[in-house]
């Protein structure tokens, strides 16, 4: 992924966690690429859709890892990821049927991702930031206390 990927991620969806923001940008770029490929080939592009799904799974794993490393409770957030992955996998599997609407699936994924970032990942970003700040404070607390409380 390069800097052009960030052109696919609206600024309002940045959560200020570089690894997660980069993955969000990549997901939106992959969605746009899937849509363009489906239009150009006038058919569902299963391989690209499956690659997008793998990227979604990896992204969910990244968020879980970062939360665990920071000591952030990720249970509810993780449950939402599992429900989303199950729903998207089901919809992608249904693309084999001739009446399937690939553009509807793309819109669904894009809408879900935007809503999830606004409602869940923004809070995760704040929690991760607060945890990082808390870690810095704890790491330096001994030094500050040894200075007789002088600031």
Q: How sure is the predictor about 138, in pLDDT bands with cuts at 50, 70 and 90?
A: very low
Query: 3-class DSSP state for residue 72?
Result: coil
Half-sphere exposure (Cβ direction) of 60: Cα atoms closer than 13 Å: 20
Average pLDDT, stretch 58-80? 96
Q: Does domain 16-145 have CATH number 1.10.3720.10?
A: no
94 CB contacts (<8 Å, ≥6 apart)?
A: 100
* DSSP per-residue letters across 101-142: -HHHHHHHHHHHHHHHIIIIIHHHHHHHHHHHHHHHHHHHHH
Average pLDDT, stretch 6-29? 91
Comparing 98 with 146, the larger pLDDT belongs to: 98
- φ/ψ of 64, rounded to 5, equals -65, -45
25 burial level (CB within 10 Å; 0-12, 13-18, 19+): buried
- Reply yes or no on whether the pLDDT at 86 is more than 90: yes
- For the chain, the average pLDDT equals 86
- Which pLDDT does position 132 carry in this prediction? 59
- Which pLDDT does position 109 carry in this prediction? 93
Helices 122-145 and 46-70, interaxial angle, to 10°? 30
Show me where the domains of the chain are located: 16-145
Using an 8 Å Cβ cutoff, are 59 and 28 in contact?
Answer: no
- Which pLDDT does position 14 carry in this prediction? 93
């Amino acid at each position: 992924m390069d800097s052009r990927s960030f052109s696919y991620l609206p600024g309002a969806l940045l959560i200020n966690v570089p690894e997660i923001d980069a993955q969000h940008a990549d997901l939106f770029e992959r969605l746009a690429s899937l849509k363009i490929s489906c239009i150009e080939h006038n058919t569902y592009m299963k391989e690209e859709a499956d690659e997008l799904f793998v990227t979604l799974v990896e992204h969910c794993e990244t968020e879980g890892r970062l939360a665990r490393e920071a000591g952030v409770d990720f249970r509810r957030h993780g449950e939402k990821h599992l429900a989303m992955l199950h729903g998207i996998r089901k919809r992608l599997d249904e693309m084999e049927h001739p009446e399937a609407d690939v553009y509807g699936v793309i819109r669904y994924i894009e809408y879900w991702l935007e809503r999830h970032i606004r409602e869940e990942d923004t809070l995760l970003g704040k929690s991760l930031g607060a945890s990082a700040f808390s870690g810095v404070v704890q790491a330096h607390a001994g030094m500050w206390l040894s200075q007789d409380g002088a600031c």
